[in-house]
Structure 1
């Protein structure tokens, strides 16, 4: 039975799509990042994949799309399409435990729980207070160096215990 499932077009398409890595965080697959939302195979055999951007205007979306189309083409789906799904909005809570471990293993502090918002978001010009642990030594004695890290979705911190700088994925 497992061989029958493994040979279905949907399974092959899903495996191909789940193998694609994020262009900005290459230690994560799009599935572990929570960006890969859906893989569908139509009756005519065409494949459609849905992805959700991590934030509005994410510059990596075109690369994600192109990488998905290439992976699906290699898996035998030449007419694969990628659509953008904006609802529900992506949240860092969608990063899998395996993805969080991969971030930490790469020296990037994974996000904590995303803030819950039941009302409009108040405009605050200060950096949000976060409880960030050093991915190298585990210390909570860290300080924000810059709200803007190597990519827009990360902030730069420094550990006061081991003195190492590190990126932190911002909670969204």
Structure 2
């Protein structure tokens, strides 16, 4: 079976910006689970929400349908998304845009580092930020406020 259309569709889907964090793409966040042929010769895009009930999933599906007309979009819930699926490029982009990326699941996060100055001396301002998957912090050293992607 020819895989070129699948690889093209994967590249297009991976490059779609996340509607809540447009500095990163679906590929950067690991939301794009797979792209494959369907038994009838079509293309299926598999996506996973960052958490159950994520309101951005409707917008993500709409963006995928606009970018890839005619594809089947399937939401996959198991295994659940984890912050470990965020790529190094995604973590870099988050830091560069003032959003603290989550630590790796194997690490015990005792502090959240400031994405601007790197200081671990930060304070939680609110458990919820502009979206439910982020918390709001302020750095005690440079005094800059910033969002932090929650560990899930």
Q: TM-score, normalised by structure 2?
A: 0.92
1:106 aligns with 97
1:34 matched to 2:30? The reply is yes
Matched, 1:80 2:76: no
Of the three residues 142, 147, 163, the one matched with 2:122 is 142
1:156 and 2:136 are equivalent in the alignment: yes
Greater displacement, 40-49 / 132-141:
40-49
Q: How does 1:3-152 map to 2 (within 5 A)?
A: 8-42=4-38, 44-73=40-69, 79-114=70-105, 130-152=110-132
- Aligned equivalents of 1:60, 1:30: Cα separation in 2: 11
Distance 2:44 2:110 in 1: 37
Which protein is bigger by CA-based radius of gyration? 1
Tell me if structure 2 keeps the 8 A contact 1:115–1:171.
no
Cα deviation code 1:35-88 (max 9, x no counterpart) = 100101236431111101101110000100110111112xxxxx2111100000
On the 8 A contact 1:21/1:29 being kept in 2, the answer is yes
Give unmatched runs, 5+ long, in structure 2. Answer: none
Runs of 5+ consecutive residues of structure 1 not aligned to the other structure: 74-78, 117-128
RMSD of the alignment, in Å? 1.8
Q: Which moved more, 1:134-143 or 1:34-43?
A: 34-43
Give the number of equivalent residue pairs.
150
Distance in structure 1 (CA, Å) of the matches to 2:28 and 2:62: 18
Q: Matches of 1:115 and 1:171 in 2, distance apart?
A: 11
CA contact (8 A) 2:111 2:121 kept: no
SS at match of 1:82: strand
